[in-house]
Chain A
Amino acid sequence: MPRVKAEPKKCIKSNLQQPPNSWVFVLKGETLEQSEQYTGTGTPDIVNLRHPNTGEAAVFLFSSANNSVQEILSFAEGKRSWFIEESVKSDGKMHLSTPIDPIFLVLPYLRKHCNSQAIPLDQLLRDDEFPQMERLLKCSGLKYLTMVADRKGDEEINAYKYNEEKTLAWLQKKTERVAEILKQKKIHVLNGAASATFVESSRNENVNNDAYLKHAHGIVSEYLMEDLSDKLLKHLNLSEDTTNTILKRKSAGSLIQPEAKVPKLDEERTPPSNVLDLSKPTLKSVKPPIQTSKEKSRSKAATGSKSITHFFKKS
């Protein structure tokens, strides 16, 4: 998915009476400006939707007219606070939003419910857990839903049936475009460190193409269920084991990726439990409780025994 770089406009929602409720949010200016053309009452809205990779709740931003959706990434490093006017906000998190193709959000629903039957889109997107899912209906991006599904029946009914072949072709295009952008920006995806000014000879280009494609597949996979990601990998004719090593290398060599977005790096390291809440797992440093020598020897004596909780149920 191409990430369009635009001049970010800093928008600080600060509420001095209730500092804990404020966020530091960097978002593209046009997201806010749209509200001027729009005659309705809505403002950009932050809602919970089902994340296409994890299936769990994640935070997304709808534009005022619901016609575009952005994902919100939060970036936090341990010791940081913000100065906002004359006050200090102790939560040093920074939130960024980037547009996301709504088809990614719809895809899990399609795959789950529309494998054998066509379902009208408005029924498909009814999710009791995430009622806001219905707002996706107005997203302009959904007119391309035929890229991943076949429309059945009357156009008015707007019913779709999932088509895996089409989906994989669509994902392939997405992946190739991401790879292209990576290449354009000269993002280092190979193993080992390299100087940012290092010019590679053209001989390596073929090898590099594969590496870029693999890296791009990794980025796209963050928005796909695991099985679909594997299928995409096969579709792209990339072998799985090398991908794993690349991923490993990626995280090991993450510091030398000069232009990679910082939240992305975090995402790679954290397990995909909740992709958007990046700060928590990295900040947690579990301090082992201090053990006395007696406790140590006792825990040594305890080796080879099952825990007593194994025998007695918690009441």
Chain B
Amino acid sequence: MSIEIDRINKRFGDFIAVDNVSLTLNDGELTALLGPSGSGKTTLLRIIAGLEQPDSGRIRFQGEDATDLHVSDRGVGFVFQHYALFKHMNVFENVAYGLTVKPRSQRPSKKEIRDKVMHLLEMVQLDWTADRLPSQLSGGQRQRIALARALAVEPKVLLLDEPFGALDAKVRAELRRWLRRLHDEIHVTSVFVTHDQEEALEVSDRVVVMNRGKVEQDGTPEEVYDHPANPFVYQFLGNVNLFHARVQNGVAKIGSVQIAAPEYAGQQDSLALAYVRPHDLEVLNSREEDALHARIDLVSVVGPTVRLELQTDTSDQAVHAELSKHQYRSLGLVQGGDAWIRPVISRVFLRDADSP
């Protein structure tokens, strides 16, 4: 079931939550709505679900207008950040809820409900918890139950609002891999909201980056990460170093370092910012013509990688570089010592009112 979001607007008082957003989400795709808090991603998700009414614009499921359908008639499964399980029902009753509230004529028999619920519980690997109360389960287990509950009614669309937001790092990582596998099995069109870029990149087929109620970029995880459309996306997706640069005839200059910027071939002496990710920064232990001199302020070893905090001669802002422990050792770098840095991959954006 494809979802067509057509020029949706939503305000809360003076605050513009969703600003004229149009998107088409394809059948069977797992899409991540990624953005900082207040970017409108959750509001958009709730509008798709029918939990919120847009001020203007339409929502269509497979071409059919669903904007005025009540949430209970939309056939969406919704998973909440804080699970929203029914505390007074046991796990079985929770998962069976959507089936037992069907009108008598459509309601499956007791046995059918039992079989279906147990099947779903096996799918989320929690069939042994059927008689327990939600309060007796861990956060990760509760969220899996919430997902089973949403899937019980065979929704046309599965919507997840920061589904792993309340869980600790290890459980999060497990659950998102599990969600990916589950989606590969059942292929229901799914949208999930997250502010965690790693989660969005790892789990989804497609990432929609939102900021201030607008879509900043829309593409596959690789596209979005490797070719950010603008400085916001660059900064939001992972750590990034900013270097002040001057662009002249298609070349950006950061001190003695030159970076090709053919997209600005027409520019004469414009101020710009070069964006370089920490792992795209080459660190050298001896002077080279096209490298910047820097002092190593801090060395922190995080598992197999080493993070350096460097200070260049021209800027007050610390520069972060990331390299493997192996590289670090062979270079013989030390805290407080000298180093030379050279951007390997970078992206130059001209400075304007919007840039930081």
Task: Please indicate whether A and B come from the same complex rather than being unrelated chains.
Answer: no
